Amino acid sequence: MADALKAEGNKLFAAKDFQGAAEKFSEAIDAEPTNHVLYSNRSGAYASLKQFDKALEDANKTTEIKPDWAKGWGRKGAALHGTGDLKAIDAEARADGMGGDPSGGLGSMFNDPQLYQKLAKNPKTAPYLADSAFMNKLANMRNNPQAMSTEMMSDPRFLQVMGVMLGVDMSMAETDDAEAAAARAMGGKDGDDEDMPMPDARPASKVEEVKEEPEPEPEDEEAVAAKKAKEEADKEKTEGTALYKKRQFDDAISHYTKAWDLHKDMTYLTNRSAAQFEKGDYQACVDDCKQAIEYGREVLADFKLIAKAFGRMGSAYEKMGDMANAVEYYQRSLTEHRTPDILNKLRAAEKAKTKAEKDAYLDPQKAEEARELGNQKFKDADWPAAVEAYSEMIKRAPEDPRGYSNRAACLIKLLTFPSAVTDCDLAIKQDPSFIRAYLRKAQALFAMKEYNKCIDACEEASAKDTEGKNAREIQQQSEKALQAQFASREGETDEQAQERIQRDPEILQILQDPVMNSILQQAKGDPAALQDHMKNPAIRSKVQKLMAAGVIRMGR
């Protein structure tokens, strides 16, 4: 059981899941608490997590169980090095010395027959082989382990050598400087002197490559299996895409599903959602996008992929007629990544949503109920309540001009004349022959002292009143406006009248009209001719405005 747990820990260590590796080694230790290798492995995992105190504790346990195992002392040296306590390496080595070796057995690693080969193939230690002084120190250490701690304290390059033998990086900040100094001392450039012979008389370039097998030496079986699964999944995806292009969506979905089952990749789900969308299964498309987004969040996927999935959800909801959700997911897509395509879709969806909400509110029966309520409130002189009722009628039946016209009548009572004019225009837009709307518009314009515009509204009403049913009311309102214009300029001097005319753009426009100018010139010599011209409604309206403004009077 301990061996199985150790193997799992090794795999996790190789995958750089050091926390998981430490946990597996801990379980193995519980099963076999006297196995020194397990403590050594866990020490290595803790060191990789920068938890050097725990690494040192396990290294101490390793050397306690197996004091003559050099690697245990190497673990201890690595842990002490991590804490920055280099002096402790010397003190511990002397205190725990075994068999006449004050280094506690650590010095024996420098007697490894493959020492020089390992140093040669490591780019950080290869330059050391060209430094005869350093190589002499190393040879002395192999023959005299007692000198080890002293040399390690005086030359940090020995820590790097020890790291190579243990399979870990124990370099210090000053190591690069030491290497460069050693290379310069030999007259080379950063250790590039390849002609310098190795201590065993073989050129460095000919040293046989030897594979290290540090403990733990995990086999990355899971990585190999994952790579194979990814390759197979990509093949399924490729086949699915080919079928998608042929519009064979069910088969494409099958292949994308196989790809997802073989290997987890967000694009397999987004591709499948596209096939679901084209197939017309919009709910399945939404479900796939949700799953893709959830997985994408877990693995910190590209925000553009997340945005694409949100956008497709918006399109699916739009196809299902759920404009509220369509707008929501288009907005989420733009939050992740802003694109013109999704922005245009959002705007269209918002308009469709507004229209859908209005359409859902339409109800002719409730509109009639609101109209009757408004009529009653109008009779009761409760103008605000009448406005509210007619507004409800408009929402329920926006194409009925009576709602706008009736509300305009209330607004006139409330002295809100500009809004009343707007409502009358809306009523006329729904029904251009609705005479009552023209008359109410003229009434509001008269109250605003817009007499010329009031006369225009009366003229429009007269033109629409083909049967003459409202002729008298229209004529009365028009004459009322003319009289108000005359009254407004009573006592006015010619100079003041001229200044007023020059400030009136409508009067100036009439005077600049070539036809009207010709008629006025003709009227100077033949006043009766003007009466003939006034048989034309359009000419009559303009002549009346000129008379009301005092222009014709001034011309006589």
Q: 3-state secondary structure string, 345-368?
A: HHHHHHHHHHHHHHHHHCCHHHHH
Is omega for the bond preceding 216 within 30 degrees of 0, making it cis? yes
Residue type, 388: E
Whole-number pLDDT of residue 266: 94
Each residue of 248-305: pLDDT tens digit?
999 999 999 999 999 999 999 999 999 999 999 999 999 999 999 999 998 888 999 9
Residue with the bigger pLDDT between 515 and 306: it is 306
Average pLDDT over residues 503-512: 83
User: Among 270, 229, 226, 230, which Cα is nearest to 252's?
Assistant: 270
Lowest mean pLDDT among 158-162, 462-466, 530-534: 158-162
CA distance 18 to 20: 5
Give the least confident one: 117-131, 239-253, 261-275, 419-433: 117-131
Helix (H) or strand (E) holding 259: helix 249-262
Task: Give 31 or 116, the one with higher predicted confidence.
Answer: 31
Report the predicted TM-score, pTM, of the whole model to 2 decimal places: 0.42
Tokens of 128: 């050391």
> CATH 1.10.260.100 spans which residues of the chain?
495-556
Between the CA of residue 112 and those of 70, 107, 126, 155, 165, what are the distances in Å?
Answer: 11, 10, 17, 20, 9
Residue 456 has pLDDT above 50, yes or no: yes
pLDDT, residue 336, reads: 93
172 alpha carbon, distance to own chain's centre:
43
What local confidence, expressed as pLDDT, does residue 343 receive?
Answer: 95
pLDDT in tens, 78-123: 788 777 765 555 555 444 444 445 444 555 666 666 676 677 677 7
Query: For residues 496 and 345, which has the higher predicted lDDT (pLDDT)?
Result: 345
Instruction: For residue 280, give both structure tokens.
Output: 């017309």
Q: Is 497 helix (H, G, I), strand (E, B) or coil?
A: helix
β partners of residue 98: 101
Please report, for residues 17, 124, 270, 309, 445, the alpha-carbon distance to residue 207 in angstroms, rounded to integers and kept in the order given: 34, 16, 53, 56, 106
2-204, CATH topology level: 1.25.40
The pLDDT, as a whole number, for residue 207 is: 37
**Residue 188 confidence (pLDDT) above 50:** no
For residue 193, count other CB atoms closer than 10 A to its CB. 16
Distance CA 115, CA 203 (A): 15
Which segments of 300-363 does DSSP mark as H helices, in order?
Answer: 303-319, 323-336, 340-361
Report CA-CA distances (Å) from 462 to 478, 506, 539. 10, 21, 14
Radius of gyration of the chain (CA): 48
> Can you tell me which residue has the tokens 């790579």?
227
Confidence of residue 545 (pLDDT cuts 50, 70, 90): confident
Q: How many CA atoms lie within 13 A of 470 on its CB side?
A: 20
Domain 362-488 CATH class label: mainly alpha
Structure confidence at residue 400 (pLDDT): 95
Say if domain 495-556 classifies as CATH 1.10.260.100.
yes
Please indicate whether residue 100 or residue 421 has the higher confidence score (pLDDT). Answer: 421
**The predicted structure's pLDDT at residue 202:** 35
Higher pLDDT, 6 or 535: 6
Q: Is 101 helix (H, G, I), strand (E, B) or coil?
A: strand
Question: Which residues neighbour 536 within 8 Å (Cβ) at sequence distance 6 or greater?
Answer: none
Residue 153 has pLDDT above 70, yes or no: no
Angle at 190 between CA 184 and CA 193, to 5 degrees: 85
Q: What percentage of the chain carries pLDDT values higher than 70?
A: 79
pLDDT in tens, 469-478: 999 999 999 8
Range of 166-170, 310-314, 460-464 with top mean pLDDT: 310-314
Does domain 249-360 sit in CATH 1.25.40.10? yes
35 Cβ partners below 8 Å, 6+ apart? 2, 28, 29, 65
Rounded percentage of the chain residues whose pLDDT exceeds 90: 47
Indicate if the pLDDT at residue 443 is higher than 90: yes
Average pLDDT score, the chain:
81
Residue span(s) of the chain under CATH 1.25.40.10 come to 2-204, 249-360, 362-488
| Secondary structure (DSSP) of 505-556 | HHHHHHHT-HHHHHHHHHHHH-HHHHHHHTTSHHHHHHHHHHHHHTHHHHH-
What is the rounded average pLDDT of the residues 461-474? 92
Residue 200 has pLDDT above 60, yes or no: no
- Pairwise CA distance, residues 268 & 151, whole Å: 58
Per-residue pLDDT for 203 more than 80? no
